[in-house]
């Protein structure tokens, strides 16, 4: 079995579920840039290429046995669940992808002999809406107002319950609006990019959108992927951690930055959809990230202009669908001394290491 190894012979391998999705591809790129072996798992290989091997698996359809066998065969130090659905799918497909799939993952990890850490990618949309000017922290009540938020919350609760019961060792990252290369064409910025690409080069583009009244916390997908990598290796089992920019950015600003990145002349036309809801507190989102800074030694490194450029360049005809070069991040060698020792169940030998590990150098945003 090939793959990078830690000095003690531990395979520095990560299994990424949902590896061909918009965010999963960034996680795979981050793992590869850190010099670690990544096994990409998804139903289909998709059009993206990237670091690591690909293993096809329908987690919901096949049940937990296949994943349990894969974990025992590969012996990763972490399994990242980046699978899920938010855009362009039916309510039942969203329930299956966001909740039922997680139940399968938990059953597989409980059945496996090998004990990796589970890093579950949740969403800040699991929280209750907050009034403008406030920040979402990990103590904010969970009262999601969308099916997406409700299904993601059900998954998070299942993961934390299994972790508390000792069935798995897990950490949940509630990620804000991740943007960059591979942003879904069903999202607002994905639709804007598609309209800009479809416009004639010598004419002003007309970008039609719903009223741009909201402010959202946008985080670069590359930064969020770095947080996943840190959560896989640091002693944060059982934790719930918010990941975001820590700033509410007007959606109009993001649309304008994307137009600037395109280099095209464009006019924004806001059109209210029939039956559109009035403005509410749901139009504001800002994430408190002090816990991520403290526990993961993590902060954002990319500006919103960098995110907009990354998104735009990835939509060019023939562009590589995998994320562009990911800046290497320094991660500690698994296993972690305070938590699972990554040995088959029943083993009593525990590896000890000096703690804390070396953290990555601080970099200024692009």
Q: Which residues are catalytically annotated?
A: 148
Backbone angles phi, psi at 359, to 5 degrees: -95, 165
The pair of structure tokens assigned to 184 is 């879904």
Q: How many CA atoms lie within 13 A of 12 on its CB side?
A: 17
Q: What is the dihedral of CA 175, 177, 182, 183, to 10 degrees?
A: 150
Q: Could you tell me which residues come within 8 angstroms of residue 21 by beta carbon, excluding any fewer than 6 positions away? A: 42, 82, 83, 84
Question: Per residue, what are the HEC states of the chain?
Answer: CCCCECCCCCECEEEEECCCCCCHHHHHHHHHHCCCEEEEEECCCCCCCCCCEEEECCHHHHCHHHHHHHHHHHCCCEEEECCCCCCCCCHHHHHHHHHHHHHHHHHHHHHCCCCCEEEEEEEHHHCCCCCCCCCECCCCCCCCCCHHHHHHHHHHHHHHHHHHCCCCEEEEEEECEEECCCCCCCCHHHHHHHHHHHCCCCCCEEEEECCCCCEECEEEHHHHHHHHHHHHHCCCCCCEEEECCCCCEEHHHHHHHHHHHHCCCEEEEECCCCCCCCCCHHHECCECCHHHHHHHCCCCCCCHHHHHHHHHHHCCCCCCCCCCCCCCCCCCCCCCCCCCCCCCCCCCCCCCCCCCCCCCCCCCCC
């Amino acid at each position: 079995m090939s793959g990078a190894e830690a000095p003690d012979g531990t395979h520095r391998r990560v299994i990424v579920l949902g590896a061909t999705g918009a965010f999963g591809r960034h996680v795979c790129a981050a793992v590869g840039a850190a010099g670690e072996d990544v096994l990409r798992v998804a139903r289909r290989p998709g059009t993206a290429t990237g670091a690591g091997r690909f293993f096809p698996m329908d987690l919901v359809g096949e049940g937990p046995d296949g994943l349990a066998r894969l974990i025992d065969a590969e012996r990763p130090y972490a399994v990242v669940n980046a699978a899920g659905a938010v855009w362009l799918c039916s309510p039942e497909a969203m329930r299956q992808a966001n909740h039922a799939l997680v139940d399968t993952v938990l059953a597989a990890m409980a059945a496996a002999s090998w004990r990796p850490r589970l890093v579950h990618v949740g969403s800040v949309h699991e929280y209750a809406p907050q009034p403008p000017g406030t920040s979402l922290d990990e103590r904010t009540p969970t009262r999601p107002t969308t099916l997406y938020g409700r299904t993601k919350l059900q998954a998070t609760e299942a993961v934390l319950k299994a972790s508390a019961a000792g069935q798995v060792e897990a950490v949940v990252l509630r990620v804000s609006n991740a943007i960059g290369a591979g942003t879904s064409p069903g999202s607002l910025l994905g639709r804007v990019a598609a309209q800009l690409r479809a416009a004639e080069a010598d004419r002003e583009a007309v970008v039609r959108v719903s009223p741009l009244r909201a402010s959202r916390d946008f985080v670069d997908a590359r930064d969020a992927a770095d947080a996943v990598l840190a959560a896989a290796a640091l002693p944060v089992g059982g934790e719930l951690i918010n990941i975001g920019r820590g700033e509410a950015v007007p959606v109009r600003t993001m649309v304008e930055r994307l137009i600037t990145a395109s280099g095209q002349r464009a006019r924004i036309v806001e059109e209210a959809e029939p039956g559109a809801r009035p403005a509410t507190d749901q139009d504001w989102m800002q994430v408190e990230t002090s816990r991520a800074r403290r526990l993961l030694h993590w902060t954002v490194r990319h500006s919103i202009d960098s995110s907009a450029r990354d998104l735009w360049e990835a939509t060019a005809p023939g562009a590589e669908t995998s994320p562009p070069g990911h800046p290497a991040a320094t991660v500690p060698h698994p296993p972690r001394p305070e938590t699972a020792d990554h040995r088959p169940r029943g083993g009593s030998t525990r590896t000890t290491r000096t703690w804390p590990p070396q953290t990555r150098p601080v970099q200024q945003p692009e």
